[in-house]
Amino acid sequence: MAVVFLAAVALAAILSAYWLSGHEALADPKAHSTGGPALRAKRTPTTTATAPATQAATAPTKPWRPPRFTERRHQRRRMVRVIEGYALTDQSVLKAMTAVPRHRFVPRKHLSRAYGDSPLPIGYGQTISQPYIVAEMTRQLKLKSDSRVLEVGTGSGYQAAVLTEFTPHVYTIEIIEALATAAKKRLNRLGYTVVKTRCGDGHYGWPEAAPFDAIIVTAAAGHIPAPLIKQLKPGGRMIIPVGAPFAVQSLMLVQKDLTGVVRTRSLMAVRFVPLVSKSP
Ligand code: SAM
């Protein structure tokens, strides 16, 4: 009798564990934590009837969705076809370049040239970079949806907006106060609200937000600033034009391996405005 009773209890326990394993949908603890495309809450099979309550109770963070713009889309597509012509085929980069409305980042008087493949003046002797160079520098960073990225040289804010197509963890520094203020307002107005902006000298990086998976410097430096190397994570990548001001410079890829060893490689010749030490 006792044996029959124990067998019935055991069978009931097995059946209830089986039923719960199919119905207890636990939130994936990683879902919504990165800001990438929203991950669907996964049904995680449980092996016991007592699922850890804390996992199910974790409130998901709102995923980052960059703003979308329909105006001038055909012009952006044409610009992206030009970029593809340089044999740049990374679909995530091409998608990002198609999404960000470059015409909203250029001064009104240059609107008609917003989607040409050339840099344009943005005031104060500075420029918004050539679209192909923006695309190639972005590609070199190999961003993931949880990457932490620092940009030195906010300028118009365009490159920062492109970075948010990959990750919401974007920090950008601009040395000219008027540009920094205008870019901050522009980014917020357009909906790129995740970008953290700062006015200051980017030679020193952003120590409180470091370390970064990726650093992009959009002005030409005489040398690679030591604080930026320090603020790069092991396994991180930095892209930076190095060379004399107003000359042809070398676009350098700086990689820090997992043991902290730093290697640099020259990718191509470029021409950028100089990385200065004091606001002109
Ligand atoms: N990324 C910008 C965009 O998308 O519009 C274009 C950047 S523009 C080619 C270079 C920018 O670097 C200028 O706005 C310039 O004022 C800024 N800059 C120069 N030296 C700097 C420094 N030490 N720290 C931060 N920004 C600096």
pLDDT digits 0-9 by tens, 108-144: 999 999 999 999 999 999 999 999 999 999 999 999 9
Does the pLDDT of residue 53 top 50, yes or no?
Answer: no
Q: Which residue owns the Cα nearest ligand 1 atom 12?
A: 153
Is there an atom of ligand 1 within 6 Å of 205 CB? no
Tokens encoding 141: 């960073």
CA 222 / ligand 1 centre spacing (Å): 14
With cut-offs at 50, 70 and 90, classify the pLDDT of residue 278.
confident
Is there an atom of ligand 1 within 6 Å of 270 CB? no
Contact residues for 45 (Cβ-Cβ < 8 A; gap 6+): 21, 22
CA 262 / ligand 1 centre spacing (Å): 24
DSSP assignment letter at 13: H
Contact between 190 and 256 under an 8 Å Cβ cutoff? The reply is: no
**Mutation test of ligand 1: which of 152, 186, 206, 270 has the most ligand atoms closer than 8 Å to its C-beta?**
152
Q: Which of 16, 112, 129, 145 is catalytic?
A: 129
Q: Which residues pair with 270 in a beta bridge?
A: 249
Which residue type, as a one-letter code, is found at position 54?
Answer: T
d(CA 205, CA 102): 26
Does the pLDDT of residue 22 top 50, yes or no?
Answer: no
With cut-offs at 50, 70 and 90, classify the pLDDT of residue 246.
confident
Q: Which residue owns the Cα nearest ligand 1 atom 11?
A: 153
CA 190 / ligand 1 centre spacing (Å): 20
- The model carries a pTM of 0.81
DSSP assignment letter at 175: S
d(CA 153, CA 197): 10
Is there an atom of ligand 1 within 6 Å of 249 CB? no
Is there an atom of ligand 1 within 6 Å of 152 CB? yes
Contact between 80 and 162 under an 8 Å Cβ cutoff? The reply is: no
Is there an atom of ligand 1 within 6 Å of 272 CB? yes
Is there an atom of ligand 1 within 6 Å of 175 CB? yes
d(CA 120, CA 238): 24
Q: Identify the residue whose tokens are 């307002």.
A: 185
Which residue type, as a one-letter code, is found at position 86?
Answer: Y
Note the pLDDT of residue 60: 57
Tokens encoding 248: 């042809």
The closest of 160, 163, 169, 172 to 93, measured between CA atoms, is 163
Query: For this structure, is 129 an active site residue?
Result: yes
- The number of beta carbons lying within 10 Å of the beta carbon of residue 37 is 10
Q: 112, exposed or middle or buried, with CB in 10 Å at 0-12, 13-18, 19+?
A: exposed
Which domains can be identified in the chain, with CATH numbers?
118-270 (3.40.50.150)
What Å distances lie between residue 168 and 8, 12, 13, 175, 176, CA to CA? 54, 48, 46, 22, 24
Condensed to tens digits (0 to 9), the pLDDT of residues 176-223 reads 999 999 999 999 999 999 999 999 999 999 999 999 999 999 999 999
Atom of ligand 1 minimally distant from the CA of 124 = 16
Is there an atom of ligand 1 within 6 Å of 158 CB? yes
The mean of the pLDDT values for the chain is 84
